[in-house]
Amino acid sequence: MKIVSPKPFTIETGKRAVLLLHGFTGNTNDVKRLGRYLADRNYTVHAPLYKGHGSDPLTLINTDPIEWWNSAVEGYDELRRRGYKEIAVAGVSLGGIFSLRLGEERPIKAIVTMSAPALSKSVDSLQQRIISYTINYKKLTGTYNEDVDKPENLAKTYRMPKLEYLQGIINDTSAKLNQIDKPVHILRGLNDDEYYCQSADYIYNSVKSRIKSVKSFINSGHILTVDKERDLVFEEVYRFFESLKWEE
């Protein structure tokens, strides 16, 4: 079965720009509905696709986390190239920590993090994400064999050598959160792993923003933008951006 690979997308509808960032092993489909929701309300949106994502697992594991970060930066630069001076950023999971990192290194209007990791996490747990991604990909393409494609077997073939570097990016970003003074809105799903709920508290307590808040969604898990309460999430993000004082 041939699958259609997700692609970056841009919808230009207004002077207010929002960069949308997906998560580790995710793709732009994770933020597409949110993008359309904001575009319908006169926000220009752009979502880059991280290098190696949205493809087969071998392609993914042969990329480097710094290349994913560079994809996020290139997305920001694309909006600047198009002439947008005020850029907010909203990210899911790894996209959330990339959003915070952009807030540390680039002029950002405001930041929305959704299920962002901000605490140390074992490389084994990150590797497990690769295995889950591989199994899902094989099922989607009709190549999954239950007898052969056991997690312990896949772990030998689909091991990503640079996951320690990914954890380093997360740790480095978290250590500099006190550099962020722009408005920050932190969203979390209470059905998500406790690690991400604790990370939300850590982010809130670490940033120096005068405007900062945390919102919990009772019936949602990790990828808030595609879960049961996604419509409430979209509205929450929109209301937060509407509360800001934009130049135009």
In sequence order, the β-bridge partners of residue 43 are 16
| Torsion angle (degrees, nearest 10) of CA 181, 80, 68, 194 | 30
Question: Does 222 qualify as catalytic in the annotation?
Answer: yes
Residue type, 36: R
Residue type, 213: S
SS3 130: helix
In sequence order, the β-bridge partners of residue 112 are 90, 185
- Given 192, 206, 220, 227, the catalytic residue: 192
CA 23 – CA 95 distance, rounded (Å): 5
Question: Does 192 qualify as catalytic in the annotation?
Answer: yes
Question: Does 201 qualify as catalytic in the annotation?
Answer: no
Nearest C-alpha neighbor of 190 from the set 215, 207, 213: 215
SS3 per-residue string spanning 175-204: HCHHHCCCCEEEEEECCCCHHHHHHHHHHH
- Given 53, 71, 93, 209, the catalytic residue: 93
For the record, the structure tokens of 192 come out as 């998500």
- Given 71, 220, 222, 227, the catalytic residue: 222
The catalytic site residues sit at: 93, 192, 222
